Amino acid sequence: MSSILTNNSAMVALQTLKSVNNNLGKTQDMISTGKEIGKAKDNSAIWAISKVMESDVSGFKAISKSLALGESTVAVASAGAEQITNILKDMKEKVVAATGENVDYAKLTADVDEMKAQITSIIGASQFNGANLLDSSVAATGITVLSSIDRDNAGAVAASNITVDSVDFTANLVLTDVLVDSAANAETSITALEAHIQTAVDGAAALGASAKRISDQGDFVSKLTDAMKSGIGALVDADMEATSARLQALQVQQQLSTQSLSIANQAPQAILSLFR
């Protein structure tokens, strides 16, 4: 039955054109933003997952800075500890020399005193951003470096830390028992100096191990952040090749739908021929 009041063909064509225009608008938005899922209404579940992952990425960026700060702090202290170890080795030569006969004890004492002063200076200078792992008066218990934020399958988040203990050379490396003013004192000082060298070596080794751990964690966090960014992209980014092809197809569909609507709107005109 034909009617001049109700044009079913035109209504179908109009709905088709609206659907095509809606898909075309979404495709154009995907091309302009580069995202297939840019809003919660596009896909609420995937959008929510991507936002949680994006917040974690932001957190890991801050963790990278924390690790870099901690690594620099430990690296400065480690360099100071290694330099002190080398000075103590040089001091040992002076002490051993002082055990001999017919030596200038005054000059040897002056040399050893200068080395002691240099060690004190290095301890004081081995600080970064106010933290000094060689000086108990500055960092008595060491430093704590935020190393990760761990999210479990229930969504709960917990922070992980790396603790670096102070080696405290001001308290553990007291060189008052190293004397070269006589052969007897120098001979006694050899044993004491050996203990000091071992303290310095142990301290430098501990700081080196901590520095390596922080450095490795920094590398891991960097790779983890990149992997999370790739995961987010896989979830929400648009496939630009497929989107481009879809855009062209929709543009053709839009033209055809417009033409179809035009034809449907002309259908009532055919009824006039019945009255001629």
Task: Establish if 3 belongs to a structural domain.
Answer: no
d(CA 252, CA 247): 9
Alpha-helical segments (H) within 99-182: 105-125, 169-172
Residues 6+ apart with CB under 8 A from 177: 189, 192
Dig out the tokens for 91 from the structure. 């001091």
- The reply to whether 132 and 264 lie within a common domain is no
DSSP state of 143: E
Dig out the tokens for 265 from the structure. 């709107």
Task: Establish if 265 belongs to a structural domain.
Answer: yes
Q: With a cut of 50, which residues of the chain have pLDDT below it?
A: none
- The reply to whether 198 and 247 lie within a common domain is no
CATH of residue 130's domain is 1.20.1330.10
- Enclosing domain of residue 132: 42-237
The domain total for the chain is 2
pLDDT of residue 156: 87
CA angle 77, 78, 80 (to 5 degrees): 65
- The reply to whether 196 and 180 lie within a common domain is yes
Strand-pair category, 157-164 with 143-151: antiparallel
- The reply to whether 73 and 163 lie within a common domain is yes
pLDDT of residue 7: 76
Task: Establish if 16 belongs to a structural domain.
Answer: no
The answer to whether 91 touches 193, Cβ cutoff 8 Å, is yes
Torsion angle defined by CA atoms of residues 207, 213, 214 and 219, in that order, rounded to the nearest 10 degrees: 150
Of residues 221, 211, 132, 125, the one with CA closest to residue 168: 132
Q: What is the pLDDT of residues 251-272, one digit of tens each?
A: 999 999 888 888 888 777 777 7
The one-letter code for the residue type at 150 is D
The answer to whether 41 touches 26, Cβ cutoff 8 Å, is no
Task: Establish if 36 belongs to a structural domain.
Answer: no
3-state secondary structure of 6: coil
- The reply to whether 94 and 200 lie within a common domain is yes
Q: What are phi and psi of 35, to 5 degrees?
A: -120, 135
> Residue 237 forms beta bridges with which residues?
35
- The reply to whether 65 and 142 lie within a common domain is yes
Task: Establish if 29 belongs to a structural domain.
Answer: no
Task: Establish if 6 belongs to a structural domain.
Answer: no
- The reply to whether 130 and 249 lie within a common domain is no
pLDDT of residue 164: 92
Of residues 158, 128, 162, the one with CA closest to residue 145: 162
The dihedral sign for the CA sequence 72, 77, 79, 82 = negative
